[in-house]
Amino acid sequence: MILEAINISKYYGEFCALKDVSIGIDEGEFVSVIGPNGAGKTTLINVLTGFLKPDAGQVNFRGKDIAGKGPEELSTMGIARSFQLVHIFPELSLINTIKVAIISRQAKGMRLFASLARDKEVHEQALEVAELFGLADLLEETAKNCPQGIKKLLDVASAFALHPEIILLDEPTSGVSTSDKNKIMQVLVDASKKIGIKTVLQVEHDMDIVFSYSDRIIAMQQGKVLADGSPAEVEKNEEVICTVVGQKECFQTFNRIMSMNREERA
């Protein structure tokens, strides 16, 4: 178990966002977290990445208690994340955005008088990451001027550039057109392999993506875990599907669509 949450709860005033949630991620797993809006998915990610401190329970990374440790500390420990609403550095170029992550990883941030432009090591590594994410043609573009899809990739690319042990992606394909979603997921999977990121946890709404790529699916509703298992197991769980899709009647429709998609891909 590389990352685990044990009985974590989180309240926003009276409202309970997470109630007694326990999950565990093994090294090498690709885990998706699904659920309707308000289920607590993003809150879970925020607690796991140190953005929020849980009101109860423990969060362990490689056995160490990391509950409430800030994102800065966690990133040095090997946990990185991307954001649902894209987070970029608006005025920085694409390559410089990636360089920030590499500088941080190589602990070069406090070098006041070294020339950034002449640091070949940082430059080459940034180039590598950029190429993996298909950003090699846009290196000098200012981030704020790029289309949404590129910004999304950049957000993820800079997190990848940290070479984390586990990366948590909050809706990595949201805001991206359906035809591009698979492309992006393929890029993520390939990049993970190349960089050596073994473990991925993602929050995702697109069921096609979820069922195609995940080793394990965790379904949540109203702050609780509904189901936690392989795609095959979760697929058959009527309650989960109806909750996620929203209507009991759509269970049949759901199965039909899933089998149709599988035929198409075959």
- Sites of contact with other proteins (CB under 8 A): 49, 70-72, 75-76, 80-81, 83, 87-92, 96-97, 99-101, 103-105, 108-117, 119, 122, 155, 158-159, 162
CB of 113 to other proteins, least distance (A): 5
Q: How far is the CB of 73 from other proteins (least distance, A)?
A: 9
* Strand spans (E) along the chain: 3-12, 15-25, 30-34, 56-61, 64-65, 79-82, 166-170, 199-203, 216-221, 224-229
Give the SS3 label for residue 235: helix
Q: Which is nearer to other proteins, 34 or 101 (CB)?
A: 101
Q: How far is the CB of 189 from other proteins (least distance, A)?
A: 22
Residue 176: DSSP 8-state: S
**Residue 36 or residue 149: which is nearer to other proteins going by CB?**
149
**Least distance CB 241 / other proteins (angstroms):** 33
Sign of CA dihedral 233, 237, 240, 242: positive
For the chain, the distance separating the N- and C-terminal CA atoms, rounded to the nearest angstrom, is 34
Instruction: Closer to other proteins by CB, 71 or 229: give it.
Output: 71
Q: How far is the CB of 14 from other proteins (least distance, A)?
A: 26
Nearest in space to 251 (alpha carbons), one of 261, 263, 262, 236: 236
- CB nearer other proteins, residue 104 or residue 261: 104
Sheet holding 166-170, edge to edge: 79-82, 166-170, 199-203, 30-34, 216-221, 224-229
- Minimum Å distance from CB 102 to other proteins? 9
DSSP class of 224: E
Nearer to other proteins, 142 or 261 (CB): 142
C-beta closer to other proteins: residue 76 or 174:
76
Which residues sit opposite 21 in a β-bridge?
8
